Amino acid sequence: MRMRYFGDSYDIVKRFLLHTIDPEGSWAAFPMFTDSDSQRIAAGYEAFLGVRVIRSDTIQVDTVRREHFEISPHEHRLFVDPNTGIRMGPPTKAKSSPDYVFSEELIRLCVAEPQRLVVVFDQSHPRGAERESLRRKLEAFQHQGLHGFAYSSHAGFVVLSAPEQVLTAARNRLTLSGLPGERIVVVQP
């Protein structure tokens, strides 16, 4: 998460989505800060999004990602906020790697706590093929035993959980908000 974008329209959508999906939930946020003065905005991020930041140190190319993504199993509602989005596959040491959360990391987060719901900000799609990109990602997660849906808009999100009932409840609350159904991407088992 880059600080120069903090407070933009994407953040407004993030707040709406999180508090619509689970208004009673205590959201733990994992903003993947890449700027060196990330500590400075962590409190503002918490206040604006209505979340609790659980990791405010920066993520860099040489970060030991397995350790960086260690999260208490007591965190049932988790928001992951990378600069760009989800990259499928295992973590790499590429220069751009801090801008992404990798699918392998998300799978680990989901299965570590049986009732966990994970929401991920995801802008990593080819222009004009956003829905198809989201569908492919959801299919890949489904093959790994996770349930998911996506919100497709200028600010895209992937929502994942190991138990289907947790995911279904989240999708139902989002649908009841009046959000147009065509914005929600699902894949059939």
Select the highest-mean-pLDDT range: 36-40, 67-71, 161-165.
Answer: 161-165
Per-residue pLDDT reduced to its tens digit, 5-15 = 566 678 899 99
The two three-digit tokens of residue 162, written as one number: 């190991």
| Band of residue 25 on the pLDDT scale cut at 50, 70, 90 | confident
43: CATH: 3.40.50
| Domain region containing 47 | 3-185
Per-residue pLDDT reduced to its tens digit, 102-123 = 999 999 999 999 899 999 999 9
Per-residue pLDDT reduced to its tens digit, 145-170 = 999 999 998 889 999 999 999 999 99
Cβ atoms within 10 Å, residue 101: 30
**Whether the predicted pLDDT of 90 surpasses 70:** yes
Kindly state the average pLDDT of the residues 73-86: 93
* Lookup result for tokens 């492919």: 136
Predicted pLDDT at 92: 85
Partners of 102 in the β-ladder: 87
Q: What is the pTM assigned to this prediction?
A: 0.92
**Whether the predicted pLDDT of 175 surpasses 80:** yes
Report the number of distinct structural domains present in the chain.
1
Distance CA 139, CA 133 (A): 10
Asked if residue 162 lies in contact with residue 148, where contact means CB atoms within 8 angstroms, the answer is no
